[in-house]
Structure 1
Amino acid sequence: MTSKQRISNIIEKWYLIDPLFFAIWTTHELSINPNIQNIRVGLGKIEYNHTFIEALDAQTLYQVLRFEAMRIILKHPYLRRKENQTVAYTASNITIQEYLQTPLNFPYAKQIFQTDEYDKKYFEFYYYKLLEQQDSMGAQTGGGGGGGGGGAQEQYTNPETSGIENTESWDADEYYSNQINDKIESALENNTWGTVPSHIQELILATLKPKINYREILRSFRASIISVNRVLTRMKPSRRYGFLYLGSRRDFCTKLLFAVDVSGSVTNQDLRKAFSIINRLFKYGIERVDVLQFDSEIKGKPLTLKKAQTKIKVIGRGGTYFQPVIDYIDKNKEYDGLIIFTDGWAPIPTAPKNKRTRILWLFNNEHNYRRMKDNLKQIGGATFIKEL
């Protein structure tokens, strides 16, 4: 029996017992690629090396195909490309292994992080946790792979041998993401989950939730803090009495404070994003923005901007402490709104006494947003900048 026939026999069985896996598999083209080491998914293809398939026994092949089908269902190959491909492969493998719990030699979260605190999380979470682990340990690799043996399975599960090759084509792809979402929604509507248990269904359904649109949240925040002054004018007649009395106009007078975290943990790229957001606020109808820089303390006086700027000098780059910013709006209560741009690596501040000024926490990425949002919900709303 050829490798393609072995694969087809397994997939055909899914039609009855795992219709979601079958439906997802059929959205991709199956093809032989002798130039790769094992099996990979991406760009609408499932590519495999026939020698790798032939080296697997029936049960192991079944587990490998199911593992790759789950990788497609979770859309890991169709998320925005990660800078460290080896770590991305490891993060994907940990996520899938946590839920499928296969006999394949993929690691569980507890084996990598030495704690059960990170059990059954999601791809982005594990990716950033692995990067943090690398930084703290000075590691050279993505870690967390299969054994050091030379067998087919060991080679497949080891991120050092397969990570870069198997994630080569991974990148954001709306077309394939939508195709996958259609199949998931169909499974939900028709209850065709097959053998997929409820806790995995929840993980799959979570991938359907739309990403937070920080631009919409900024617009909403701007609308919630908008402030106007009624000014009498002779240039406009009174609606009731004509030119016998002064008319009135309403001038926008919103006072917005934008606090930028300039600590050492915030990258220059993140700072460019922050100041790009400030410039965008002028498009949303904000006529003036006071920009406050902070790390462990307030750095100088606020810079008042009345139009978009191409260059702003950054000062600071120390540690991070939010409390000085909160104390600042307690002393300066004239602000309608405060936006705090940060990576979130700081202690939770005490809530302000000033209840007038609305607060929005704007995080530099989704990982830091998820890590901090629940702890900050008593102080203000939160969103994050989607990776560009």
Structure 2
Amino acid sequence: MKTYFNNQVNGLYENANKIVNIFLDASYRDKNVKLDIPEDFTQEFFSIVDKVSLSLMDDKDNFYGYFLFQMSREIKFDIGSPTAVNFKEAKYVIYFNPLIFLKLNIKQMESTIKHEILHIISMHLIRAKEFKNGYSTLAINMAMDIVVNKYLNNLPPYATTLEWVNLNYSLKLLPYEPFEYYVENIQTALNLLEEDKDGVEDDSNNDNEIETDYNPEKTHDIWQTSNDIDEKTLHEFTEKAINNSQKGTIPVYLESMIASLKNSKGELPWNLYLNRLMGTIESNKKKTVTRRNRRQPDRLDLRGELRSHKAKIAVALDISGSISDEEFKQAIKEVLNIVKNYNHEITIIECDTEIRRAYKVKSTKDIKDRLNIRGGTKFTPVFEYANNNSINLLVYFTDGKGEDKLKIIPHGYKTLWVISGRGDKLSLKEPYGAVKKLSNVEIKDTSLDLSDVVRDGFSMNNQERIL
């Protein structure tokens, strides 16, 4: 049976090469010619996929087999990996490149299908889009592949693993860390390699319609063709597919990933959302003489640019009395913990109707006691400060009660509003950013009258760590 399967795969691989060669010969004469995949080839190829699917059904990890059963299938010779996924017409689609997929044995075929499903469960199709402005495609792809491949055996020999990245980029990355940790460190390593190279940066895209070998920089290109859908809706479709796939026991790691997805309800807590934002902010640029200017490569007097990956973060605190000291102290500790791997500059801004104080912090020891001023609340002064000081990210802690319209429109940075436990909603009609809430914490009373103690407020200690 195994010999018959291998012979069928080998014969199909030869046919795939014939189809591609016919296309390449025709496209040499006519650039507008389209790749024609014969129907009999398609049927035979998917009979191979059916055998892999049945093998997954019989395996202890039959979750993957049931999940695959719900997906549409297509053949694409232009993807740089054996398989790829995206979301089309209210369902997930899995694509196969026969020239790469048919080189694998059946166990490796299973692993590459599992690989794509783990990307889906990890909501990587959404997260990749959010990080593309701050990091290179290669760094994002490798970081996401490290996250999912750590759970898989029988990987193809070229698979991006933690060990491979550490060896090839002289890194010491730790296992089982979140995606943000990997993408930041990999991007830093890539920047150092670029800095050592002389010449013009190559931003050109290869539009070749045929991919014959694995290409880590193009493995997830097809994610960009997914239907434009909001995270909450995609989350609901994913959870439905997961529920339909749980027909028996599943591995512990899958239980953890699924629980994290379901508990989020499509709405990330403020601290996890901040963790995500850290990977999307565009850091300041630093000049380099080792790279020519991209727009004018012949001008040797103009210096090129590299990401310095040191962005300016402003943490604004409404000191009008709406947020307790306990809430803010816990929140700022959370902020410092999240950004510690990013080497970013943090400025704390205390504001009511105007900015009362702004100072930089590197650790919790630098946090000053809050000023004892209790006025009204205006948001505009903080945004004026951010606009004038090249801020990359503004995190604003408030009860949400202030102006209904900003007098100054923010530009050039992202904003995250964090509403205190006693707050209801943000008064602004246009927040120019995401609005999140804190979660409950007991607030300590500093007065002598115990009847005035308020037992509400919010904490970040119960938040779940991102996968």
TM-score normalised to the size of structure 2? 0.44
Alpha carbons of 1:58 and 1:292: their partners in 2 closer, same or farther (altered >3 Å)?
same
Return the offset for 1:117: 5.8
Q: Secondary structure at the match of 1:86?
A: helix
* 1:49 alignment counterpart: 97
* 1:323 alignment counterpart: none
Which of 65, 68, 75 is the equivalent residue of 2:113?
Answer: 65
Return the offset for 1:287: 6.4
Amino acid at match of 1:292: A
* 1:6 alignment counterpart: 48
Alpha carbons of 1:69 and 1:58: their partners in 2 closer, same or farther (altered >3 Å)?
same
Amino acid at match of 1:174: K
* 2:11 alignment counterpart: none
**2:147 matches 1:90:** no
* 1:40 alignment counterpart: 84
**2:283 matches 1:206:** no
Whole-Å separation in 2 of the counterparts to 1:177 and 1:10: 27
* 1:294 alignment counterpart: 360
Which of 182, 192, 196 is the equivalent residue of 1:126?
Answer: 182
Return the offset for 1:64: 2.0
Whole-Å separation in 2 of the counterparts to 1:61 and 1:215: 34
Return the offset for 1:126: 1.8
Q: Secondary structure at the match of 1:294?
A: strand
Return the offset for 1:295: 5.6
Alpha carbons of 1:289 and 1:186: their partners in 2 closer, same or farther (altered >3 Å)?
farther
Whole-Å separation in 1 of the counterparts to 2:191 and 2:67: 37
Amino acid at match of 1:56: L
**2:384 matches 1:311:** yes
Q: Secondary structure at the match of 1:102?
A: coil
Q: Secondary structure at the match of 2:189?
A: helix
Return the offset for 1:266: 4.6
Identify unmatched segments of 5+ residues in structure 2: 1-7, 9-43, 202-210, 275-316, 337-341, 391-432, 435-457
Whole-Å separation in 1 of the counterparts to 2:176 and 2:117: 18
Q: Secondary structure at the match of 1:159?
A: coil
Whole-Å separation in 1 of the counterparts to 2:263 and 2:320: 25
Amino acid at match of 1:112: V
Whole-Å separation in 1 of the counterparts to 2:323 and 2:269: 26
Q: Secondary structure at the match of 1:36?
A: coil
1:260-314 superposed Cα distances (whole Å, 9 cap, x missing partner): 99xx9658xx99xx99xx9xx9xxxx7676452426789xxx9998423152267
Whole-Å separation in 2 of the counterparts to 1:224 and 1:19: 56
Return the offset for 1:163: 3.8
Q: Secondary structure at the match of 2:150?
A: helix
The question of whether the paired residues in 1 share the 8 Å contact of 2:56 and 2:62 is answered with yes
Alpha carbons of 1:186 and 1:224: their partners in 2 closer, same or farther (altered >3 Å)?
farther
**Aligned pairs (5 A) from 1:345-364:** none
Whole-Å separation in 1 of the counterparts to 2:111 and 2:123: 18
* 1:76 alignment counterpart: 124
Return the offset for 1:52: 3.2
**2:239 matches 1:181:** yes
Return the offset for 1:204: 4.0
Number of aligned positions between the proteins: 262
Whole-Å separation in 1 of the counterparts to 2:459 and 2:355: 19
Whole-Å separation in 2 of the counterparts to 1:98 and 1:9: 25
Whole-Å separation in 1 of the counterparts to 2:376 and 2:49: 62
Q: Secondary structure at the match of 2:85?
A: strand
Whole-Å separation in 1 of the counterparts to 2:272 and 2:175: 32
Q: Secondary structure at the match of 2:262?
A: coil
What's the % identity of the aligned pairs?
A: 12
Amino acid at match of 1:106: A
The question of whether the paired residues in 2 share the 8 Å contact of 1:39 and 1:166 is answered with no
Q: Alignment RMSD, CA only?
A: 5.2
**2:165 matches 1:112:** yes
Whole-Å separation in 2 of the counterparts to 1:216 and 1:5: 43
Alpha carbons of 1:3 and 1:173: their partners in 2 closer, same or farther (altered >3 Å)?
farther
Amino acid at match of 2:95: E
Amino acid at match of 2:186: L
Q: Secondary structure at the match of 1:120?
A: coil
Q: Secondary structure at the match of 1:132?
A: helix
The question of whether the paired residues in 2 share the 8 Å contact of 1:110 and 1:118 is answered with no
**2:212 matches 1:159:** no
* 2:30 alignment counterpart: none
The question of whether the paired residues in 2 share the 8 Å contact of 1:67 and 1:96 is answered with yes
Whole-Å separation in 1 of the counterparts to 2:272 and 2:183: 25
Amino acid at match of 1:63: S
Whole-Å separation in 1 of the counterparts to 2:108 and 2:149: 14
1:19-70 superposed Cα distances (whole Å, 9 cap, x missing partner): 3212322343211224434421112221223333334343432332222222
Q: Secondary structure at the match of 1:312?
A: helix
1:351-376 superposed Cα distances (whole Å, 9 cap, x missing partner): xxxxxxxxxxxxx99xxxxxxxxxxx
The question of whether the paired residues in 1 share the 8 Å contact of 2:128 and 2:140 is answered with no
* 2:416 alignment counterpart: none
The question of whether the paired residues in 1 share the 8 Å contact of 2:320 and 2:376 is answered with no
TM-score normalised to the size of structure 1? 0.51
1:117-168 superposed Cα distances (whole Å, 9 cap, x missing partner): 6112333332223223334554689xxxxxxxxx95xx32x413x3463543
1:210-252 superposed Cα distances (whole Å, 9 cap, x missing partner): 22146999xxx98996489xxxxxxxxxxxxxxxxxxxxxxxx
Whole-Å separation in 2 of the counterparts to 1:8 and 1:224: 64
